[in-house]
Structure 1
Amino acid sequence: MRSLSRRLTSVLFATLVVTLPLQALAATESIVLGMGCFWGAEKRMSEIPGVLDVESGYAGGDAERASYRDVLNLEKRIQRGKSDARNHAEVVKVTFDPEQVGLERVLIGFWESHNPTQGDRQGNDVGSNYRSAIYVSNEAQRAVALETRDAYQQALSAAGFGPITTEIAPLRHYNRAETYHQDYLTKNPDGYCGLGGTEVAYPGSDQGETAKPQADRLQASDLDAERQLIVFEAEDCPFCQAFRAEVLESWSSAVPVVTTLNPRPPEGWMLEKDLFATPTMVLFEDGKEISRYTGYKGDKARFWQWLGFQILTPEQQRIAFEQGTERAFSGSHLDEKRPGVFVDPITGAALFRSDTKFESKSGWPSFFNPVEGALTYHEDRSHGMRRTEVRSASSGIHLGHVFDDGPPPTGKRYCINGNVLSFVPDRD
């Protein structure tokens, strides 16, 4: 009798374990959404209260089965004109509790979290596999999708955006993405934060469900028209905060810099393409983007090298990044004797005071003492010699070498390429 009681208890427990999740699952609803790269889409949609699960996948294509490699390979064939098949879009399957959040609220998050006016692309990702899409399971979902699309189009049009290109169609051929794609940005934050769409709020909501009041655009009249670096940031972006702390707070470069929370450039200035993440550092010349640097993971040397390739001459680049040497008596600053400081041409960081400069007759500017902490030292065995190379501590660029044949009090001779120095005279 006791044995029978145990068996009945076990069966009852097993029934509860199996039945409760099924009951909970039956109370949920799912919709499949394409917002460009599913990594960012997964993260953004999972932040909506009431959303229980967000899964990356592929849907909307002709193939019944598809993998990441299948999708990429087909897109290449489509772009080359070798296939007219319909490719899958990268999508997320959003499962939510209708008692906590309605489908309209989920779709408001969808509209506000990407740019639905770009056709077969999203930000830097180009191709039909990155199209904006809503794949519905029934007519009720389709009706809400169309209603919210028309409402958001009004807001976008008022903000100067074009027509929505989002595909709204019945769901077909959904495939779950590979395991390594799931929760990708949680596992691989990669040094940047997603922008979160057009920053246009869905009408009728309190500044939108996910959008925030848009910051004012920068005014072109406040900037340097000839050359200007703009850092596009976002609120609550830890990588933006790190870039501020590690680079901007000690900024002394001759390149003027400004930050903004608005994803659009000043009126009349042109971005080459939309921003897709923050921080993004964009260098403008004459109001046009000439280069950009996206993301920041504490890699100051990489950032300064990027900026150096934009502002240094080819000869300066050869010296700075290829350990080149200018010909003797051909460089800059040989005869510079004014009180002042010689600085890194990229970062503006002080390297040598002019009162440590002396005439060495070597053909290169020579100094007997650097600014404290300004240099790093590296063994150099090139050209059959054993020398000590010196680099700028702030940017990492090659400056020259140090020798033990200098004057008192240090006895050192810092033999420096004048073409990778800038001079800042002392103020009266």
Structure 2
Amino acid sequence: MLRKLLTLLALAATLSVSACAKEPEMNTPTAENTDYIVLGMGCFWGAEKRMSEIPGVIDVESGYAGGDAENAGYYDVLGLEKEIRYGKTDQRNHAEVVKVTFDPQTVDLETILIHFWENHDPTQGDRQGNDVGTNYRSAIYTHNDAQTAIAKQTEAAYQTALTQAGYSKITTEIAPLHNYITAEEYHQNYLQKNPNGYCGLGGTGVKYPGDGKSPMPKSEPSAPRLQGSDLNQTRQLVVFEAEDCAFCKQFKAEILDDWQTDVDVTTTLNPNPPEGWTLEKSLFATPTIVLFEDGKEVSRFTGYNGDKARFWKWIGFRLLTPEQRRIAFEQGTEQAFTGSHLDEKRPGTFVDPITGAALFRSDTKFESGSGWPSFFNPVEGAITEHEDFSHGMHRIEVRSASSGIHLGHVFNDGPPPSHKRYCINGNVLKFVPDPPENNANNTE
């Protein structure tokens, strides 16, 4: 009996060892069968996110590399860059980089480098979008001759595609890895820890040549560039978006879908300005909303994460007149009997001049003799009320619920049925008359 028990235990141990011995055969990457490459694509936050999405990539770590210092942190790099800018040192600074560890059995180095080329602009020199400095240079840091050869081969191929698309020479540094330093913990997986971060642009929009390993669709190498001749030359808003950008979708749902504006608005997935038009500087995040006048950028709004008030104030300062801005954003008041719409009696709706949201219907307007347009009821949900103790008085301020701009005040001396008097600055109202068929119905 004892011998039988020992035999069973030995068999169980053998099966256990055999099961363990089979685990490495299940394509589970280990340190011995992985590889890595160190890449500089500007700010490492967006680079980390982009490269981690590649199938076969095991880990992406933010770091610093390529500089003279053997040990440095984020503020050391920023401080040295400032000294370089003012000519106080000739020391070479580190670049912000990501160390991409991958399984060569699942993804090869060429595919990773194709993603590298397509996911940033390698022609910008010591910058990437709004991030300027040698620490934001484009770079490929290799650890053997084979990697260097593949890096240079892919560079030559992508240069051909960029040249055909009208881009200048690639400025990417290709060199052996030197003084790599892991970045601080708070920089690791930054956009996962900070979901309100921006959606990085996908580079130049130029596809790596060939039908092989480019992640861009074969049938559509890049989003078509807008033609300036097709847009409003006087004033045009362009919303620059990116695929799979949650903040772009949020901006569309919260702003674009219901926005009633006289300004022409268009969207694009191409990060370049409309043909024949100019941007002040490259874009670095999406969504970016740019206001063009006469084909030139005059203002931009970068990034959106639900901050509607900030957006409406930005666009309001660009669309409103100085007098309207004084009222809307500085709680100003027009002089009595000088504002717009005092005598407007047509059927229609008074709307927010920025958002186009309905505020008051004309059938709630009455002659108060005060010198300002007066209403006894707003459109439901159109306004918000706030206590106002300015000028030594206690009043109730009225603001637009959609844009937050100041409209006027409400008093308890109006006609029935509400007995309210919404005393509104006419210059921050826009009147939209009812369509003719509605007017006809109203007169029957």
From 271, 277, 289, the equivalent of 2:297 is 289
Please report the TM-score for the alignment, with normalisation by the length of structure 2: 0.89
1:315 shift after superposition: 2.2
Q: Tell me which moved more, 289-298 or 114-123.
A: 289-298
Match of 2:318 in 1: 310
* Structure 1 residues 105 and 339, CA gap change in structure 2 (3 angstroms): same
Match of 2:130 in 1: 124
Match of 1:239 in 2: 247
Alignment partner of 1:406 is 2:405: no
1:363 shift after superposition: 2.0
* Structure 1 residues 351 and 207, CA gap change in structure 2 (3 angstroms): farther
Alignment partner of 1:256 is 2:285: no
Q: Is the 8 A contact 1:254 1:347 kept in 2?
A: no
Query: Mind listing any 5+ residue stretches in structure 1 that lack a counterpart?
Result: none
Alignment partner of 1:201 is 2:187: no
* Structure 1 residues 166 and 359, CA gap change in structure 2 (3 angstroms): same
Sequence identity of aligned pairs in percent? 72
Question: What do residues 188-233 of structure 1 show as CA deviations (whole Å, max 9, x unaligned)?
Answer: 1325321111111111134823566322222334322211111112
Paired letter, 1:50: G
Q: Distance in 2 between matches of 1:191 and 1:239?
A: 9
Match of 1:338 in 2: 346
Q: Alignment partner of 2:30: what SS?
A: helix
1:257 shift after superposition: 1.3
1:277 shift after superposition: 1.8
Paired letter, 2:135: N
Q: Alignment partner of 1:151: what SS?
A: helix
Match of 2:379 in 1: 371
Q: Alignment partner of 1:360: what SS?
A: coil
Q: Distance in 2 between matches of 1:145 and 1:262?
A: 26
Alignment partner of 1:55 is 2:61: yes
Match of 1:83 in 2: 89
1:163 shift after superposition: 0.3
Q: Is the 8 A contact 1:29 1:95 kept in 2?
A: yes
Q: Distance in 1 between matches of 2:430 and 2:90?
A: 57
Q: Alignment partner of 1:277: what SS?
A: coil
Q: Is the 8 A contact 2:227 2:276 kept in 1?
A: no
* Structure 1 residues 290 and 23, CA gap change in structure 2 (3 angstroms): closer
Please report the TM-score for the alignment, with normalisation by the length of structure 1: 0.92
Alignment partner of 1:388 is 2:388: no
Q: Is the 8 A contact 1:207 1:213 kept in 2?
A: no
Q: Distance in 1 between matches of 2:173 and 2:303?
A: 30
Alignment partner of 1:186 is 2:160: no
Q: Alignment partner of 1:81: what SS?
A: coil
Q: Distance in 1 between matches of 2:432 and 2:407?
A: 17
Paired letter, 2:412: D
1:424 shift after superposition: 2.0
1:95-174 equivalence runs, <5 A: 95-174=101-180
Paired letter, 1:156: L
1:127 shift after superposition: 0.7
* Structure 1 residues 191 and 229, CA gap change in structure 2 (3 angstroms): farther
Alignment partner of 1:216 is 2:228: no
* Structure 1 residues 156 and 291, CA gap change in structure 2 (3 angstroms): same
Question: What do residues 74-120 of structure 1 show as CA deviations (whole Å, max 9, x unaligned)?
Answer: 11111122222111000011111112211111111111111100000
Aligned residues: 418
Paired letter, 1:371: V
1:23 shift after superposition: 8.7
Match of 1:277 in 2: 285
Q: Is the 8 A contact 2:216 2:222 kept in 1?
A: no
Question: What do residues 48-67 of structure 1 show as CA deviations (whole Å, max 9, x unaligned)?
Answer: 11111111000011111110
Q: Distance in 1 between matches of 2:29 and 2:116?
A: 27
1:327 shift after superposition: 2.3
Q: Distance in 2 between matches of 1:425 and 1:207?
A: 56
Question: What do residues 20-73 of structure 1 show as CA deviations (whole Å, max 9, x unaligned)?
Answer: 8x9920211111110000001111111111111111000011111110000011
1:261 shift after superposition: 1.9
Q: Is the 8 A contact 1:36 1:90 kept in 2?
A: yes
Q: Is the 8 A contact 1:254 1:346 kept in 2?
A: no
Q: Alignment partner of 1:194: what SS?
A: coil
Q: Alignment partner of 2:396: what SS?
A: strand
